[in-house]
Amino acid sequence: MSEENLENQEVVENNEVVNQEPCCCSEKEDTCCTEKPKKKHSPCMIATGVLAALSFIGVVIILCMMFFCNGSCKTSDATATAPRTIQKGELKIAYIDTDSIMAHYEYAKDLEKGLKSLQTQLESNYEATGRKLKADYENYMKTGEKLTLTEQKRKEEDLTRRQQEFPMLQQKMMAQLQERQVEDNKKLLNSVYAFIKDYNAKNLKYNVILSRSYISSSVLYADQGLDITKEIVEGLNKEYKEVKGK
């Protein structure tokens, strides 16, 4: 065979290798490309639905409570000190680490405890409603045949209505928690803003006080000597202690 024919044969073989489609499965995993048939759940499995819904609620609520950071995220230590920067000129600027305020302000901690307490209460009521619905259904399945046709129809309509309303109870609970969190956040922010305004008015220190946060902040860099977080947190806790003690 000539050299020209050999080159042509190699080109053809290479093209055949390139055009081969990759297999989505290995020899051992011969079922990876197939989809397992979905099981059809019986509408009678109310208890299973209740437990699954509760698990989902727990995850969502935990995510909705991220505003009340208790120090798990990266925060600046409110007790850390740095040499105070001497500012020259008329414009005086300072900044506050809001993550540290959320982690060390006692009022923020109390609001978080209150929200968790409400969450526990609502979840307890939700679970009790689910258990009652399940028990009534099972009791009807055992004793329903002893009832008259009219009583059976009335009982079935009641169970059906309660089963349909049960998912809406979950949505109502989540809406109530979100509404409470919005109210608590508003109270917290108003408390911090009012204190900072009063603090600056009494001390006549700064023209601008910026907010700095690990998650989102317009301040990319600031001299640590401009950080007034520690004295703000101490002042907030002192004020809250006085108000709480009344």
Q: Delimit the domains of the chain by residue range.
A: 43-245
Residue pair 209/96 in contact (Cβ under 8 Å)? The answer is: yes
For residue 56, the model assigns a pLDDT of 46
Residue 93 CA: distances (Å) to CA of 36, 99, 204, 205: 63, 19, 12, 9
**Is residue 236 pLDDT above 90, yes or no?**
yes
Looking at residue 81, its pLDDT comes to: 57
Q: For 166-187, how does the pLDDT look when each residue is reduced to its tens digit (9 = 90+)?
A: 989 989 999 999 999 999 999 9
What average pLDDT does the chain have? 75
For a pLDDT cut of 90, what percent of the chain falls above it? 47
Q: What is the mean predicted confidence (pLDDT) over 105-112?
A: 95
pLDDT of residue 204: 76
pLDDT for residue 79 is more than 50: no
CA–CA distance, 117 with 114 (Å, rounded to integer): 5
